[in-house]
Amino acid sequence: MKGVDAYPGYFSLNLDNDIKIEAMSTRRAGLERFTFPRGSKPVIGGGTLDINPENGRITIGDHYGSSFGPGSDHYQAFACYDLLNSGAQKLSEYGIWTGDT
């Protein structure tokens, strides 16, 4: 990792493969931005998702159970990725990987 920058409500870093990750937060929401190297074909995965190729938006969300100890604590996580840079880019292809053959 290189190029780490952090302060309350913001964190960014540049990975060794030149992908830049930025995470911003408020008390009730978070936003992530991924900047991929020019010419790369990014792959993003997660729970249930919806791909809208017209506006380049990918939404991911799911319900999760407690990850430690007993109990039935549940929470919902949601992410939204806008990939088209305000219309300056087009999706050349899209799809999902289901993990099976």
Print the domain residue range for 78. Answer: 43-101
pLDDT of residue 65: 59
Q: Which residues touch 43 (CB under 8 Å, ≥6 apart)?
A: 97
CA 60 – CA 78 distance, rounded (Å): 6
Residues 51 and 100 in one domain: yes
Residues 4 and 18 in one domain: yes
Residues 20 and 47 in one domain: no
CB neighbour class for 35 (10 Å; exposed up to 12, middle 13-18, buried from 19) = middle
Residues 52 and 93 in one domain: yes
73 or 29: which leads in pLDDT: 29
Residues 96 and 70 in one domain: yes
pLDDT of residue 38: 87
CA 5 – CA 25 distance, rounded (Å): 14
Q: Look at residues 60, 55, 47, 67 and name the one whose alpha carbon lies nearest to residue 91.
A: 55
For the chain, what is the domain count? 2
Is a pLDDT exceeding 70 seen at residue 10? yes
Summarize pLDDT for 32-45 with one digit per residue, the tens: 788 888 888 776 55
Summarize pLDDT for 83-93 with one digit per residue, the tens: 777 667 777 77
Residues 59 and 96 in one domain: yes
5 or 83: which leads in pLDDT: 5
Residues 10 and 28 in one domain: yes
